[in-house]
A and B are shown apart, each in its own frame.
Chain A
Amino acid sequence: MSKPWVKWLMVFLGGLLIGGGASILLLMQGSILAGAILFRITQAFAIIWLLWGFWIGRDVPGMKTVGAMIIATLITAAIAIPLLQTRNSGYAVAMIGVWAMAELFVAGLWLIRQLLNGGHPILGVARTLVDEAIRMKIALIFIIGVVLLIPVLPILIDPMERLDYRVKFFLNWSIGGVSSLLSMMTVFLICGSICSEITRKNIFMTMVKPVSRIQYLLGKWLGVALLNVLLLSVSGVGIYTLTKILAAQPVSNPTTPQIELAAVEYEVLTARQVARAVPDEGMDLGAELQRRHQRLHAENPDEYGEKLTPQQNKAIQNRIIAQWHAIGPGSSQTYIFENLQTAVDRNIPLQLRFKPKMSKAPDDEMVRMALWINDRPYPNYQGQHFPTNVANDNYHVMTIDPSYVTGEGKLKLRIQNIDLLAPEATFPATISFSPGAGLEVLYNVGTFGWNLSRTMMMIWVRLGFLAMLGVMAGTFLGFPVACLLSFMIYFAAIASSYLKESLRFYAGFTDPGLNLWNKITVNFGEFFKNIANGDIWTAVKMLIRFVGETFVSIVPEFSTYNPTPLVSDGRVVSMPMLLDAYIWVGLVSTGFCLLMAWWIFSKRELAKVTV
């Protein structure tokens, strides 16, 4: 084997030396044309000889991969470089993106395989799963999907759209798409691997070796988890690079480019901390709640007992907060934003982001307000208080100097529903803000790059949970049912808060002031009473709600750990949030699934039917 290689190398080096040397000599002697032609010939020789080298060494381990990578590089360069000089540069960028991500993936895969090369059962099982993912088509389809999705997505975006919207769209769809594709890959791969090993009996050969059942399960999980690390890293690099390329594209309105560019820089490609409005000290929510409870109890003692149920309590609180976010004609409301000390310390400008909505909009669709910050008129130019007139039902951002924040890190905002220019003409309608995102103060605390990294880490921990869910399902179910169960639990986790709300409205339970046991007994009584009265449908709905609520209560609430809308909106995916996700999703939920999987798998007879 070594002889042909030595010959090949000698010819290669000799050709380069002779061709390159002669080219330089010719150029030095002033024969520019001859030198250039010889240089091109040497280049062509080098490429052809290199390819020949890979061909003759194709049986050497790894050579096929390296050869394929070099060929892909040459093809990409041959197509993309001419394309870059034409109007179709978007296609060239997409092609280079696909190439770069594919090369990065192959290199990362090699690294993972090296990492898993140790002599340990967990590593052995994990590495075999990685090999399976690459060589069996089931996972490869999703991997190709991920590698293609990100570079191709910018081509699909309308270039006439506002630049910040384009970037947001790309971030939303690329991160969401990657997350969805990897979720599917994770479930199909892990369920497919475990179920097929049991069905095809490959597992016999593994489990008669000194491999404990938990080591086998952990090995499977580790393989998928590492593959997800690799794919999320590659996707992260791809998304970051293409976002930057996209952000450098021409704006939609060249007359005011600074508006779109500023929006991209300060509202999208950033990591902003959020402060939500809290009531002024003068307002006592607790006292208000008590007042309303007393009134409701007096009006309807059957519905509202001496003690409010958690649901009733929550409903009344929500009503109070919604009313607090509404300002009647001519009146005003005060909101406090706390924990802004970091912005003051770092002298970071604050952004007041709000979306006013009028109960009945005027003809010009404009909302007219007057603002005071820390009791100082705002905006205030040369002693004059200017009105804040903005479009109805749209998000608006106002920049506030950090000097407005008090020493305790607080910002007091008073909003009056008044037309400052013509107070007597104030439109007789209420201005309201959605509690939460409808009125908030933001300030920059980090970079887009780090925010994207934390986003990917958050997605990874969710995928880690999903992988363990797949492991658990695979230990006792066949492939299709295991996939179905995994997806069902996963989607229930994502939509748990919505499901809980929906179930509450779907069927009525009698639960005021009852503890859990009484609630169960009373409602079971109601259930049987409905059956006895012939109201079967109500009984069935009660049963569905009971089963649904029980199911939703045991799955983790993933809506809390969804980083995609945050990062695309330039909000920080903070370290505490990430830590919280790693503890609750990574340790508690995933750990619970592992324990369940271990318990089931250790009881299972792997060779159940043999005769």
Chain B
Amino acid sequence: MTTATTSNAATQAVGTSNDVIRCIGLTKIFKDFWMRNRVRAVDNMNINVQRGELFGLLGPNGSGKSTTIKMILGLLHPTSGRIAVLGKRPEDVGIKKMIGYLPEESYLYRFLNARETLDYYARLFFQNRAQRRRRVDMLLEMVGLEAVQRRPVGEYSKGMQRRIGLAQALINDPHLLILDEPTTGLDPIGTRQIKDLLIELKDRGKTILLCSHLLSDVEDVCDRVSIMYGGKVRQEGTVDQLLTKNESTTLEMPRLDEQTINEIRQFLSAKGIDLTRVDQPRQKLEALFLDIVHQAQTEGVETSGARAGGRIAEFLSSDIQSSTEESQVRHQVLENLVKTEPVAPKADVSKPEVEPQKPKAADSVLSSLTAPKAPVEQDKPQDQPASLATAPPPTLDDLKKSQPQSQSPKKPVSGDRSVLDDLLGGNKD
């Protein structure tokens, strides 16, 4: 068994200049009191996250995602295998200046308020008082918690805690952002904003490792994906590589009328080709994910995680009232955020053999905070099928009615991003 305590030289050899995270043969076995192997949480895992990449780590509960992340962060020691983060060992304190981390739950000090929380984390990065004040102000504005910044974090809803958790992960303008289930507990608006923020950060050159079991999150934003089960990577590749059906071809063209389609059908028929569908054949990531898990289960792969879920327990009551109250709180907190336009429905046409179109930051957080409400043209006709993740949340319907100028789902071109620019040190627009 290879020992986990590798030398610096060995670690340097693991990571190349373009590798931000490199894991080779990574294994983590949890032992019991008698030092017997209890759980093999991660099993001979290899991943490689490149600079500027938004990498997704997918898997069901207990598949080893969080364990992998904790080894990358130095919170757990590998049983065997090697890890290099930014070319150094995970235990190296120096590299942590360049890392931002949002854990699966926001483990915040409940006795501190939002401002004190961010101020505390900023202090850990040796930031002086003026720098801290500036960044904290910006982040509070960005995550929409200015109005409640003096309330103890312990009183926050889960969604609000996720927001403050995200803000602390960005306090140091990290090069590498590691997010564990970032959208858990967030409402659809918050989820969309987080995803847009991730894309925005990626456009600014940040490397992001996103760990999630929410398939739409990963599908929408990630460049590459690893799907884990039972501590092993079952499949890895770009989203398009994983989702494309190679047995058929899709042609993309402007909308055709029925007559033209019939003509094409006849033309192809003459060539002996049967036109089976006239839409966008794309396999859902969810289906692929479930197939992989199902396949692994049929192969009898051991896992310490959850298996197929069952019906909801009868003793659990419906929490409609509290949900409504939480929604109202969120609505109040995000008042300025929801003033903006709904998210643009993306063209959901798969384009095999073509460079995959990267999702645009259609509605960046800052844009949604400060963008003028100028009407903008839609990219696609209204009857174009919108992807599930980008569908405008129904809760905005009323707002749309009251604000007809916000109908456009397209990202405002002239949105003011100064806060985010200042925060991230970028100057992209």
B112's closest neighbor in chain A, by CB?
A131
Most chain B CB within a 10 A radius of its CB, from A202, A204, A606 = A204
Most chain A CB within a 10 A radius of its CB, from B67, B75, B101, B126 = B75
Contact B116 A131 (CB under 8 A): yes
In the complex, what's the smallest C-beta–C-beta distance from A132 to chain B, in angstroms?
A: 6
Measured between alpha carbons, how far is A211 from B41 in the docked complex, in Å?
27
Q: Say what secondary structure dominates the interface of chain A.
A: loop
Contact B70 A201 (CB under 8 A): no
In the complex, what's the smallest C-beta–C-beta distance from B261 to chain A, in angstroms?
A: 52
For A317, what are the chain B residues with a Cβ–Cβ distance below 8 Å? none
For B131, what are the chain A residues with a Cβ–Cβ distance below 8 Å? 119
Given contacts A131-B111, A204-B103, A212-B93, contact A605 B75 (CB under 8 A): yes
B121's closest neighbor in chain A, by CB?
A209
Q: Any chain A CB within 8 A of the CB of B348?
A: no
Measured between alpha carbons, how far is A464 from B282 in the docked complex, in Å?
66
In the complex, what's the smallest C-beta–C-beta distance from A115 to chain B, in angstroms?
A: 13
Q: Which of A20-28, A120-128, A516-524, A565-573 is near enough to bind chain B?
A: A120-128
Contact A119 B132 (CB under 8 A): yes
Most chain A CB within a 10 A radius of its CB, from B76, B77, B94, B109 = B109
Contact A205 B108 (CB under 8 A): yes
B96's closest neighbor in chain A, by CB?
A210
Q: Any chain B CB within 8 A of the CB of A607?
A: yes
A213's closest neighbor in chain B, by CB?
B93
Given contacts A202-B107, A611-B41, contact A210 B75 (CB under 8 A): no
Q: State the interface size on chain A (CB cutoff 8 A).
A: 36
Measured between alpha carbons, how far is A609 from B67 in the docked complex, in Å?
9
Q: Any chain B CB within 8 A of the CB of A579?
A: no
Contact A606 B123 (CB under 8 A): no
Within 8 A of A (CB), among B58-78: 62, 64, 66-67, 70, 73-77
What sequence of 0s and 1s flags, for each residue 98-118 of chain B, a beta carbon within 8 Å of any chain A beta carbon? Answer: 010101010111011000100
B180's closest neighbor in chain A, by CB?
A204
Measured between alpha carbons, how far is A24 from B73 in the docked complex, in Å?
72
Measured between alpha carbons, how far is A59 from B75 in the docked complex, in Å?
39
Contact A210 B94 (CB under 8 A): yes
B115's closest neighbor in chain A, by CB?
A61
Within 8 A of A (CB), among B15-73: 30, 39, 41, 62, 64, 66-67, 70, 73
Given contacts A605-B77, A610-B76, contact A118 B111 (CB under 8 A): no
Q: Any chain A CB within 8 A of the CB of B276?
A: no
Q: Any chain B CB within 8 A of the CB of A208?
A: yes
For A200, what are the chain B residues with a Cβ–Cβ distance below 8 Å? 107
Q: Which of A202, A204, A211, A607 makes the CB contact (< 8 A) with B93? A: A211
Contact B123 A120 (CB under 8 A): yes
Contact A611 B76 (CB under 8 A): no
Within 8 A of B (CB), among A120-159: 120-121, 123-125, 127-128, 131-132, 135-136
Can you identify 23 A-B contacts, CB atoms within 8 angstroms? A119-B125, A119-B128, A119-B129, A123-B123, A124-B120, A128-B112, A132-B111, A200-B107, A202-B108, A205-B121, A205-B168, A206-B124, A209-B121, A209-B124, A209-B172, A210-B94, A210-B96, A210-B124, A210-B125, A211-B124, A610-B70, A611-B30, A611-B66
Q: Which residues of A contact B (CB under 8 A)?
A: 59, 61, 117-121, 123-125, 127-128, 131-132, 135-136, 200-212, 605-611
Q: Please list the 8 inter-chain residue pairs (A to B) with the smallest Cβ-Cβ separation, ordered nearest first.
A: A124-B123, A607-B75, A135-B111, A209-B124, A201-B107, A210-B96, A607-B70, A208-B101
